[in-house]
Structure 1
């Protein structure tokens, strides 16, 4: 394999016209330059320079290598510039995975803020629902995922950045016997028919089930819906009550009321998951800051 550094020394000799001039330009001794050219000639098995008067000129092989050295030098300079742009967050690509209810509230404003700060960074957004988006980060297929994640789960090589705690609220049909109370005990809902609104395999359902178990009962799901808007419609129709994350209740059905619950209050923690090795990227750090800003917004 040709030595790229020696090719650049040869190019310096050819463009300077002599070994002495090239040595002065490179900051080497003439002997060191001659040794580099001689070593390159041994590699290629051909003479690369010939004397002309007090200077030198390239042979056909020397001209060929000099031309390629110029191309290599240009490519290296372009690579260095591209790396500097990537290192400083001016370019690059971020792959983001998220679950549906985080999209409008967290991801959309965060990506808008990122694009203002890093307009040259491409963003690949993908909804992962009902699957857990965390494995996408662990396997290197995504740079960041917005996830629902209990605080005590092992983190492996992935850092979890807390964004917000999203408390669950009771959703009742208007006129329900419990609607007059401002705050409900979770046990108040024990004997009610329930409208399911979570994916069976997802972490959110388990949060609800664990809270109910702590209160001494298991909810009686009479209707299953894997969509919050549809579930609110079932509640409004009087088919049951629901327990839904507060983040999804900004838009609520006009025929339902929302009440706090306690003892216990189910809460889902929402986190940004990133690989530890990706954190030095300025654009990724900017996205994390933007997600925190979105989470802190009213």
Structure 2
């Protein structure tokens, strides 16, 4: 094993073309540089430099060793940078992405835990549609983000590095005076004659309804298109129709609505945390991802325990 400092000196001499210039770049004396090179040559067992009146040139062995030395020095610099990032858990900032239903349900639990563990880290959270979050990840404007997908259109695992957090079931929303309100569970096949409240603008939950209804053998009849889940719940509460929603979207339930399980007759969505695979992750990003995984484990167990 060769001394790293001597490898650094050799690389400096080759890059600068002379012992004197290398000494100035390293803040050494020329004599100290020459001594380090001589010791390295004794370790290697062969000459590394050819001395000329106007400077030095590496021998063939010198060329080979300098090439390896540069790799070693880059790796050490990367290690120092990584260690500095670990120290960054005592200060710094972290930019996260989320989408509205997670921002209103699961994410605050993770944020509370992270702020308790790392109070000096400044958190900035960006809420957006999924395509906007993916763009922010790819542009480096956020370090990691919560995302979602369904079984028929999985997120591209080559485009982003993904960790599944938990399964978010699709549930049925009915008015409290609806005949199904007292049921613990219903199947999509029970709902062929119902009117439906859906999300406007091609929302993903509309495709969930269409696929689930098709599998159950009917075409849903639409009575209202809502701009958000609060509006959808309000229309369900007055009997305009029934609706589907991810469970996390209705944790703050309208008092005139009941949430009924659909079991496996409607597909769940998968909640993910993502980062760009080629990004050098900061220690704060790694720590927050770990908090998300731990929080998701407790969250899913709590939500599962509360299901009908």
* CA deviation string 1:192-234 (max 9, x = no partner): 11111x3533433322321222112232221111211221111
CA RMSD of aligned residues (A): 3.6
1:103 to 2:70 alignment: no
For normalisation by structure 1, the TM-score amounts to: 0.70
Counterpart of 2:192 in structure 1 is 190
Q: Distance in 1 between matches of 2:211 and 2:202?
A: 14
1:227 to 2:228 alignment: yes
Counterpart of 2:241 in structure 1 is 240
Counterpart of 2:292 in structure 1 is 291
Q: Distance in 1 between matches of 2:189 and 2:197?
A: 16
Counterpart of 1:123 in structure 2 is 123
Rate the CA distance shift 1:215–1:7 in 2: closer, same or farther, 3 A. Answer: farther
Q: Distance in 2 between matches of 1:133 and 1:239?
A: 34
**Counterpart secondary structure, 2:271:** strand
**Counterpart secondary structure, 1:125:** strand
Q: Conserved in 1, the CA contact under 8 Å of 2:143 and 2:281?
A: no
**Counterpart secondary structure, 2:262:** strand
Q: Conserved in 2, the CA contact under 8 Å of 1:163 and 1:271?
A: yes
The Cα shift of 1:134 comes to: 2.6
Q: Conserved in 1, the CA contact under 8 Å of 2:160 and 2:275?
A: yes
Compare CA radii of gyration and give the structure with the larger one: 1
1:86 to 2:85 alignment: yes
Rate the CA distance shift 1:210–1:89 in 2: closer, same or farther, 3 A. Answer: farther
Q: Gaps (5+ residues) in structure 1?
A: 14-18, 41-78
Q: Conserved in 2, the CA contact under 8 Å of 1:86 and 1:92?
A: no
Q: Gaps (5+ residues) in structure 2?
A: 1-14, 40-47, 57-77, 303-308
Counterpart of 1:168 in structure 2 is 170
Q: Distance in 1 between matches of 2:97 and 2:237?
A: 32
1:12 to 2:28 alignment: yes
Counterpart of 2:275 in structure 1 is 274
The Cα shift of 1:82 comes to: 6.1
The Cα shift of 1:23 comes to: 4.7
Rate the CA distance shift 1:12–1:138 in 2: closer, same or farther, 3 A. Answer: closer
For normalisation by structure 2, the TM-score amounts to: 0.68
Rate the CA distance shift 1:266–1:150 in 2: closer, same or farther, 3 A. Answer: closer
Q: Distance in 1 between matches of 2:183 and 2:82?
A: 60
**Counterpart secondary structure, 1:290:** helix
The Cα shift of 1:139 comes to: 4.3
What are the equivalent positions in structure 2 for 1:149-164 lying under 5 Å apart?
A: 149-151=149-151, 153=154, 154-164=156-166
The Cα shift of 1:261 comes to: 1.4
Q: Distance in 2 between matches of 1:199 and 1:146?
A: 23
Rate the CA distance shift 1:88–1:9 in 2: closer, same or farther, 3 A. Answer: same
Q: How many residues align?
A: 251
Q: Distance in 1 between matches of 2:245 and 2:289?
A: 26
Rate the CA distance shift 1:95–1:218 in 2: closer, same or farther, 3 A. Answer: farther
* CA deviation string 1:133-186 (max 9, x = no partner): 233324444321211212463322312211111112111111112223221121
* CA deviation string 1:232-289 (max 9, x = no partner): 1111112111111111222211111111114513311111122223375432222222
Q: Distance in 2 between matches of 1:262 and 1:83?
A: 46
Q: Distance in 1 between matches of 2:192 and 2:227?
A: 21
Q: Conserved in 1, the CA contact under 8 Å of 2:150 and 2:268?
A: no
Q: Distance in 2 between matches of 1:151 and 1:3?
A: 58
Counterpart of 1:60 in structure 2 is none
**Counterpart secondary structure, 2:105:** helix
**Counterpart secondary structure, 2:231:** helix
